[in-house]
Amino acid sequence: MPSTTLKAQQTDSLSFFAITLALLLGLQVINLEADANTEQYTTIAEVEAGQLLYKTGDYGQYQQAVLKESKADIAISGMVAQVKLTQTFTNTTNSWQEGVYVFPLPDDAAVYQMRLTIGERVVEGQIKEKQQAKKIYQQAVNSGKRAALVEQERPNMFTTSVANIAPKDTISVTLSYQQTIQYDHERFSLRFPMTITPRYIPGQPIAPTAAEEIVIDAGSGWGVPTHQVPDADRITPRVLPPNFSPEHIQNPMRLNVTLDAGMTLASIASPSHALQTTRNNSVYQIAPSNTVVPMDKDFILSWRPAPEATPKAALFAEKTLTPSNQLLENEQHVLLMLMPPQGSLKTQRVAREMIFVIDTSGSMGGTSIRQAKQALATTINRLAPQDRFNIVEFNSDFRVLYPQPVAADRKNIRQALSYIRSLKASGGTEMAPALQAALAEQDETPKGYIRQVVFMTDGSVGNEEALFQQIQRQLGNSRLFTVGIGSAPNSWFMRKAAEIGRGTHTWIGSTNEVAKKMSALFQKLESPLATDITLHWPEGLQVDMLPARVPDLYAGEPVIVSARIRGQAIEKELTITGRNGSHRWNKQLSLQNAAQSEGISRLWARTKIENLEDGKTRGEDSEQVRNKVLPLALKNQLVTAYTSFVAIDQTPARTTEALQKKNVIPNTTPAGQSPQLQAMKSHAWPQTANGTGFNLIAGLLALLAALILRYHSRRKRVLQA
């Protein structure tokens, strides 16, 4: 056989093998994509507008399921918001259903009431120890009684379960909670979360047989329990695919706000939604311009007082009632908003060593990564020549731009900006190694430099407690400032990380806010602090104050202090002292003349519970923490990690012969976020991105290479002929 023919045959064989391999890769990718698309789009498109789906048990198959509508009535008075959130579950199927819905609330919410409404009947919920409440609920499920259970998974994530919803029937669950209004740079604001960014679950999966509690308390999420996040299946609710049809609203929400600020207002605005506003004297009625909005991003409302009404300090009080609604003598709860002294002194700018940490994980895909890159570039451009800086980027792994922090000269800044432009979102959210890198080698910081770490992320992790403990251990002389990115960031992680890190937190909800929000953050970083702040309570009072030690005050941002006071000196004055640069300042506030406001006692109890739970971060035994929190939660009727609300309608509705199916109601994909495939599927491993796109590209490249090889082989034979 001529050598040219043999070579041609060998080349043909090689090209055939390459084509076969490429086709196999392509088929595998097509199957993966088709499987994912079956769950994400195909079957969802077959149902009517607005309907939600639930799994029937067969992989990739859905059917029409329970509908969910939500309504929030928010009443704001002074520094406190009272919220009633109603979730309505309508069973559109012909079988009995159990609805399960994981949803967000503000991380400082004090949830104190739950009502179950069935037709004209209203059943009041009761606070019980968590396992007891779960047992009561399950007994009701088994006996065919209508029931509802509300559990806390995280301080900003809750689960509502509603049992025995009859075919074509409707059941509503109403939660009442309170939260504190925020104040920053002369603007009040309220954040109402409406969806959950999918959490990254680190760690090795736990075999179900290895932990009995996982079998007993199995959740409905896509996450697999791991050694680092044993409740992963309870904090990973599935999400609906992004809604590309404006006329079809996913998870509809009706929002109504009544605002009585108690002062003249200069403006009312929302960076998240267009508003319609009416006014009656000093009371405003506010709602989104669209009566019904999709639950795909947090609702943010802000209002600015007129210049003459800008507060310097504010004190609110509530006298304590006994269970019989009689005033408890000589006890009240107070809420103090303490502002930095006006007219900060001009001081010499201190050189800083700034470490910027940017999250480039898969959950940051879409609008979030653009916001983060713009925020980081804005911050880098504001550095002064005497500053030093470095950048830590992380997803499944982490990368440090420079081996050591470098001077903020023009060359290094240009290089950093070029690096920032190249960043892309993909992979998991392994925060711990990035934090380790950012907080390491503090001994190398030159003397006289302030070390500040700015952490930009959506906080989409499930191992928050472990990260808090890491910050507590490794913080050293650094200060940690968190910047929440995206339309639905993990607010609890962002706030607590900054609190433990002795810094502040900032939210960026859209690219339009980046310049303004980062400018405000830099004012805090650059401005002189009000330090050595002390509250001098009148003698004779027993005071339980939170925080026990008042932190430093940054420009434009107040500190909120909550206290329970007992004794005979409530009519006297509270004196506040502190230092601004080399100058001392003081202020007096009358306890007797404090503005009366409802709910201060619940907010104090919620803050006290959070303070006790922080003991775990400080190394206290979990059982000891539980034993401290449980009596306080039961006394104040609050939902916590150790208590739940349960409501039972004693009239049996379903016979034991009639089977009940479980509905898992998805959240809505956060606006602007790239779809996270694992959050749309029924089962997933701990990750925030897969390699499907890479496999598809690899398969296509292999196919292209094979075709080119075959073309050259045929051309060579033709020429030789």
CATH number of 352-526: 3.40.50.410
499-550 per-position pLDDT tens digit: 999 888 998 877 788 888 888 888 777 765 677 889 999 888 899 999 988 8
Confidence of residue 694 (pLDDT cuts 50, 70, 90): very low
Confidence of residue 208 (pLDDT cuts 50, 70, 90): low
CB count within 10 Å of CB 35 equals 14
Give one DSSP letter per residue of 90-144, joined into a string: E--SSSEEEEEEEEE--TT-EEEEEEEEETTEEEE-EEEEHHHHHHHHHHHHHTT
The pLDDT value given to residue 341: 64
Pairing of strands 62-64, 121-124: unpaired
440-456 per-position pLDDT tens digit: 989 889 988 889 999 99
Higher pLDDT, 556 or 2: 556
Strands (E), 581-638: 583-590, 595-596
Give the SS3 label for residue 119: coil
The pLDDT value given to residue 144: 92
Residue 682 above 50 pLDDT? no
The pLDDT value given to residue 711: 59
Residue 217 above 80 pLDDT? no
CB count within 10 Å of CB 107 equals 20
Average pLDDT, the chain: 81
Helix (H) or strand (E) holding 694: helix 692-720
Pairing of strands 265-269, 299-305: antiparallel
Residue 258 above 60 pLDDT? yes
Full 3-state SS string of 5-35:
HHHHHHHHHHHHHHHHHHHHHHHHHHHHHHH
Helix intervals (H) in 501-616? 514-526, 600-613
d(CA 176, CA 155): 15
Residue 290 above 70 pLDDT? yes
- Domain locations in the chain? 3-46+691-720, 352-526
593, 333 contact by CB (below 8 A): no
Confidence of residue 333 (pLDDT cuts 50, 70, 90): very high
The pLDDT value given to residue 345: 47
Confidence of residue 34 (pLDDT cuts 50, 70, 90): very low
Residue 197 above 90 pLDDT? no
The pLDDT value given to residue 326: 45
523, 512 contact by CB (below 8 A): no
- Upstream peptide bond of 547 is cis (omega within 30 degrees of 0): yes
Confidence of residue 87 (pLDDT cuts 50, 70, 90): very high
Confidence of residue 688 (pLDDT cuts 50, 70, 90): very low
The pLDDT value given to residue 569: 63
The pLDDT value given to residue 481: 94
Confidence of residue 496 (pLDDT cuts 50, 70, 90): very high
Sequence length of the chain is 721
The pLDDT value given to residue 677: 56
The pLDDT value given to residue 399: 96
Amino acid at 130: K
Residue 100 above 60 pLDDT? yes
CB count within 10 Å of CB 593 equals 10
Sole residue written with tokens 């502040």? 504
The pLDDT value given to residue 190: 96
63 - beta bridge partners? Answer: 54
Q: Which two tokens stand for residue 317?
A: 């009080």
52, 237 contact by CB (below 8 A): no
Cβ within 8 Å of residue 681, ≥6 positions away: 36, 39, 222, 238
CB count within 10 Å of CB 4 equals 12
